[in-house]
Amino acid sequence: MLDKLVNAFGPSGNENEVRELIKKEIESYVDKIEVDAMGNLYAIKGENPEILVCAHMDEVGFMVVEINEDGTLKFLPVGGIDIRTVLGKRVKVGRNKIPGVIGSKAVHLLKPEEEKALPQWENLYMDCGFTKKDEAQKEISPGDYAVFDTEYTENGEYLIGKAFDDRIGCYITLELAKKNFPFPIAFVFTVQEEVGLRGASVVGNKLPVKIGLILEATAAGDFPQEKDLGRFPAPGKGPVITRLDKRCICDKELVDLLISIAEENGIPYQIKKPTVGGTDAGKIHLSREGVRCAVISVPARYIHSPVSVIHKKDVEHTMKLAAKFLERTGGSR
């Protein structure tokens, strides 16, 4: 299932394919499934859950904004993408997933000043093999989305693919939904996290929960510069527990509980030290009269790029830590 989730086409605002995959996989394990006007998917066990588990379905990607006369496509990023990572990369474009390449000037054609400057989005284009505008218009329209064309693969203990942020969170949430927790619980898969936590803005208002557990991928910094070790988490060293980031200060009691559970059960863990980024907790914790939130993340190298890398053990340990956390918090109702 993880390979299907990672390979799926699902940029912010166009998560339909991911949502249908999840819905089909989870429906036999829950009592009720709903989709709200934003596109968030709610899979609920029992009545009146006070705990939710949340992961976002969307990935960073692109939107076509114009078709040039020569059939190439002008585009802009959807979500935070470092422009240096996209040059020469393969993409899938539009409703028919037309294969293409992100093109720019060849190095032989660059002026000296261009060699030292970062490329600009307005100077890049997608080449899908069309030679005329009307030819491209038969397959693609302005407003169509594109994503990186990177197939999921495994290399020993490492998993490689696009969109681990946050399909790995979706995968773990799905697996948790298959467990028999003896209390009501809501499993929520949100949209548009990468463009401002927009789907999560409505989740906490729809579900009057008391505790939210957000499952994410977070940037690993162990590679390639050794000096980053100790500041950023590293794959293979356990799930990452967030104390705070730019959008949320996690509930201290829940953070302490996560640490205690990890230590009691021999689960390796890391603390997210830099206060960078944000998760759906940033919106959910502000819902209604407030929701106590905790965040567990799988460390991933090179997120928001054409390919990222995670460690199998981190996935297993994150799942175990999340399950033990739910048992403790749900059992104290």
Kindly name the residue from 25, 50, 193, 194 that is annotated as catalytic.
Answer: 193
Q: Is 193 a catalytic residue?
A: yes
Between CA 145 and CA 9 the distance in angstroms is: 9
- Cα 247-202-147 angle, rounded to 5 deg: 75
pLDDT at 232: 77
Between CA 244 and CA 268 the distance in angstroms is: 20
pLDDT in tens, 124-157: 999 999 999 999 999 999 999 999 999 999 999 9
314 in Cβ contact with 298 (< 8 Å) = yes
Q: Which strand (E) or helix (H) includes residue 133?
A: helix 133-137
Distances (CA, A) of 217 to 257, 282, 293: 20, 15, 16
pLDDT at 109: 66
pLDDT in tens, 307-329: 999 999 999 999 999 999 999 99
As separate numbers, helices (DSSP H) first and strands (DSSP E) second, the chain gives 9, 17
Q: Which domains does the chain have, with CATH numbers?
A: 2-59+162-330 (3.40.630.10), 61-148 (2.40.30.40)
Q: Is 280 exposed, middle or buried (0-12, 13-18, 19+ CB in 10 A)?
A: buried
Tokens of 163: 């969109």
Tokens of 106: 């060849």
Q: What is the pTM of this model?
A: 0.94
Q: Which strand (E) or helix (H) includes residue 90?
A: strand 90-93
Residue 101: how many CB atoms within 10 A of its CB? Answer: 15
Between CA 267 and CA 260 the distance in angstroms is: 10
10-residue mean pLDDT series, the chain (333 residues): 97 98 97 97 96 98 97 97 94 97 77 76 94 96 98 97 96 97 96 95 93 95 62 89 92 97 97 83 92 96 95 98 95 55
* Region of residue 239 (left: phi > 0; alpha: psi -120 to 50; beta: else): beta
